[in-house]
Copies of this chain bind each other. A is one copy, B any other.
Amino acid sequence: KNLSKFQKILLMTDGSVTTLLEIYTGNPVKIKTLHQKIIPATHEIANKLEIDVGDEVNERIVLLLDSNENPLIHARSYTPIQRTSEGFREDLLRADVPIGKILKKHRIEFRRELNDIWEEESDEEMKKIFGDERLLVRNYNIIHRNKILITIWEKFPKSSFV
């Protein structure tokens, strides 16, 4: 594909995206929580996470910002509450901490399983964040104890990190 090396790294890595952004920008990344709520799983989410419809799921939408508050990456995640330990859940709900750092703090062993990478047009919500840009998107799962602990969609403009 016609992407920069850093775009490819962001899309393909099984390591921490926050670490990559901090190296790229040369500064700590900030987190802005746009939305955070425990919801009953819809059919679609239940299917994705391999849980029952109606099971509690934490829905979290955050922006990773550079030190000047410019948005770098939009991340939406779903976590089945029943699969979280108490300490992990507290940190997750408190928000404003990147998921990679929460996993590290709680010394959680996991693997990252990349599901898919694609391009899409911005919808109205994304236009408010990044402007009218084509987006690069990936979806991956954090697997812990052989189950999906978190599924995450990360989006950034195709014009970023070039």
How many chain-A residues does the 8 Å CB contact rule pick out? Answer: 26
Query: A107-B111, A108-B111 are contacts. A19–B23 as well, Cβ < 8 Å?
Result: no
* Inter-chain contact A13/B15, CB cutoff 8 Å: yes
Residue of B nearest to A26 (CB): B5
- Residues of B close to A103: CB separation below 8 A: 111
Query: A5-B24, A9-B9, A13-B13 are contacts. A145–B19 as well, Cβ < 8 Å?
Result: no
- Residues of B close to A24: CB separation below 8 A: 5
- Residues of B close to A143: CB separation below 8 A: 107, 109
A53 beta carbon closer than 8 Å to chain B = no
Expressed in whole angstroms, the Cα–Cα distance for A19 and B20 within the complex equals: 14
- Residues of B close to A9: CB separation below 8 A: 9, 20, 23
Q: A5-B6, A9-B20, A12-B19 are in contact. List 19 more A-B contacts (CB 8 A).
A: A5-B24, A9-B23, A13-B16, A14-B15, A15-B15, A15-B16, A15-B112, A103-B111, A104-B111, A107-B111, A107-B143, A107-B146, A108-B111, A109-B109, A109-B111, A109-B143, A109-B144, A109-B146, A110-B111
Instruction: Identify 18 residue pairs between A and B in the complex whose beta-carbon atoms are under 8 Å apart, listed by A's number.
Output: A5-B6, A9-B20, A9-B23, A12-B19, A13-B15, A13-B16, A13-B19, A13-B20, A14-B19, A15-B15, A15-B16, A103-B111, A104-B111, A107-B146, A109-B111, A109-B146, A110-B110, A110-B111
